């Protein structure tokens, strides 16, 4: 499935019923050098628009919200060792976590790549 995007600058990629979540290139650029990522615990139930992770730059901590309802099934442990992966490869190796979805139809509310591009240009 093609990537989807949230207004909170997360990307979501669905494969075999599991969604991989990360932050967009736009998000990493505006955050700057990322020095720490706090990921949710495996098994944690997430609620759409609720707290999911925290990403810290030199200067500040920013919340990352869950773009969908579901449960965390895997986290990217590489980020613990090398949080700069989020800056270097935000939309590939710098993924945050994977979640099973409660309601796949929530994906329809998210933007496709073209819509997200327009959204970012409008900011």
Partner 1 sequence: MADDQTELLKTALHDLHVELGGKMVPFAGYDMPVQFPLGVKGEHLHTRAKAGLFDVSHMGQVRLTGEHRVAELEKLVPGDIAILKPGRTRYSAFTNDDGTILDDLMITNAGDSLFLVINAACKDDDIVHMRANLGDGVSLEEIDDRALMALQGPEAANVLARFAPAVTELKFMSFAELDIAGIACFVTRSGYTGEDGYEISVPNDRAEELARKLLGEDEVEAIGLGARDSLRLEAGLCLYGNDIDTTTTPVEGDLNWIINKRRRAEGGFKGADVILDQLEHGADRKRVGIKPEGKAPAREHTPILNTDGEEIGEITSGGFGPTVDAPIAMGYVAIEFAAPGTKVDLMVRGKARPAEVVELPFAPHRYFRG
**Alpha helix ranges (H) inside the chain:** 25-31, 78-81, 85-88, 113-121
Quick check: 123 binds partner 1 (CB under 8 A)? no
C-alpha Rg value of the chain to the nearest Å: 13
The answer to the question of residue 32 lying near partner 1 (CB under 8 A) is yes
CB closer to partner 1, 29 vs 113: 29
CB 67 within 8 A of CB 46: no
Out of 42, 47, 59, 103, the only residue in the binding site for partner 1 (CB under 8 A) is 59
Task: List beta partners, residue 28.
Answer: none
Write out the binding residues for partner 1, residues 72-91 only, by CB under 8 A. Answer: 80, 83
Shortest distance (Å) from residue 102 CB to partner 1? 24
Q: 10 in helix, strand or coil?
A: strand
For partner 1, which is the closer residue by CB, 3 or 26?
26
Burial (CB < 10 A; 0-12, 13-18, 19+), residue 87, is middle
Residue 45 as a binder of partner 1 (CB under 8 A): the answer is no
Rounded CA separation 27/78 (Å): 19
Q: Is 25 in the site for partner 1 (CB under 8 A)?
A: no
Applying CB under 8 A, does 71 fall inside the site for partner 1? no
Which residues contact partner 1 by CB under 8 A? 32-33, 35-36, 38, 54, 56-61, 80, 83
């Amino acid at each position: 499935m093609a990537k989807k995007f949230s207004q909170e600058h997360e990307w979501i990629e669905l494969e075999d019923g599991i969604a991989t979540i990360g932050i967009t290139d736009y998000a990493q650029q505006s955050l700057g050098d990322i020095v720490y990522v706090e990921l949710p615990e495996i098994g944690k139930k997430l609620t759409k628009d609720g707290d999911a992770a925290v990403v810290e730059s030199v200067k500040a901590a920013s919340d990352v919200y869950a773009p969908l309802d579901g449960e965390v099934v895997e986290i990217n442990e590489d980020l613990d060792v090398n949080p700069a992966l989020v800056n270097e490869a935000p939309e590939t190796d710098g993924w945050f976590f994977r979640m099973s979805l409660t309601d796949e139809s929530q994906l329809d509310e998210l933007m496709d790549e073209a819509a997200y591009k327009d959204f970012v240009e409008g900011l």
